[in-house]
């Protein structure tokens, strides 16, 4: 269920109009997007490094995965960080939001380290390349399209709710057909949410006028970061990555 930790707080800044080239200052939008994607990539790098360290350290694995209290404390901390960033984005200082995002990225690396234990390095690497290419194409489309995707995004969000329910059922009913459908739907849902979030980021650009990194930048980065992580995990399941 960690794959479904998801942040929808960008709705706080949702606007009926979508910023398009020529209607607003393109330099402001470009600067904001550079910050968002920069933080997103930084978060993914932290997650990957942390997962690799934990996945290659039997002592750390034993300390975490045999201690239920510690394991659940990590999961609760992840939820707490997302909720804090979502609820207090207007009040958090940029430095605090940045620290929380870095902490969340590291904690996610810890909880996702099991992927390194379940799947071969070849499967993880090939899926990551596919996910990166897919994510890049989807984000580019969402950023450049002039179509208003608000209705499409709301539909994808409803799909996300259904996916959460199906995943809960899948925890208790281990059926191969159900698991395949969950993986397939997960790929579709997070592909759609990636496009939606990428478009909505343009509307966030003018929510911060201070320049540089702000709490709004971090929230935007977190949304895309979660899109990528979830898309990667569902792709790995859908493509049937080779297990160790």
Token couple for 64: 């975490």
- pTM, to two decimals: 0.84
Q: Where does the pLDDT of residue 209 fall: very low under 50, low under 70, confident under 90, or very high at 90 and above?
A: low
- Which residues make Cβ contacts (< 8 Å) with residue 93, sequence separation at least 6? 215
Pair 83, 135: CB distance under 8 Å: no
pLDDT (0 to 100) of residue 64? 86
Percent of the chain with pLDDT over 90: 31
Q: Where does the pLDDT of residue 135 fall: very low under 50, low under 70, confident under 90, or very high at 90 and above?
A: very high
pLDDT (0 to 100) of residue 243? 63
Token couple for 35: 């910050």
Q: Give the closest residue to 45 by CA, choosing from 234, 221, 242.
A: 221
Token couple for 160: 């996300």
How many Cα atoms sit within 13 Å of 178 on the Cβ side? Answer: 12
């Amino acid at each position: 269920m960690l794959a479904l930790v998801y942040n929808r707080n960008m709705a706080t800044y949702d606007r009926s109009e979508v910023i398009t080239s020529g209607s607003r200052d393109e330099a402001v939008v470009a600067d904001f997007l550079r910050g968002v994607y920069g933080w997103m990539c930084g978060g993914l790098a932290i997650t990957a490094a942390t997962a690799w360290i934990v996945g290659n350290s039997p002592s750390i694995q034993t300390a975490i995965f045999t201690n239920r209290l510690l394991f659940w404390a990590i999961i609760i901390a992840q939820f707490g960080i997302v909720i804090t960033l979502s609820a207090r984005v207007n009040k958090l200082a940029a430095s605090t939001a940045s620290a929380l995002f870095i902490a969340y990225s590291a904690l996610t690396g810890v909880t996702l380290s099991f992927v390194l234990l379940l799947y071969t390095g070849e499967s993880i690497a090939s899926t990551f390349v596919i996910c990166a290419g897919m994510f890049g194409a989807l984000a580019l489309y969402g950023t450049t399209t002039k179509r208003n995707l608000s209705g499409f995004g709301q539909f994808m969000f409803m799909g996300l709710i259904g996916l959460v329910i199906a995943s809960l059922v899948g925890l208790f009913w281990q059926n191969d057909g159900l698991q395949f459908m969950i993986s397939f739907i997960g790929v579709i849902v997070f592909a759609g949410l990636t496009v939606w979030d990428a478009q909505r980021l343009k509307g966030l650009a003018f929510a911060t006028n201070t320049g540089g990194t702000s709490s709004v930048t971090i929230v935007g980065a977190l949304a895309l970061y979660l899109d990528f992580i979830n898309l990667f995990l569902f792709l790995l399941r859908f493509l049937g990555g080779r297990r160790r």
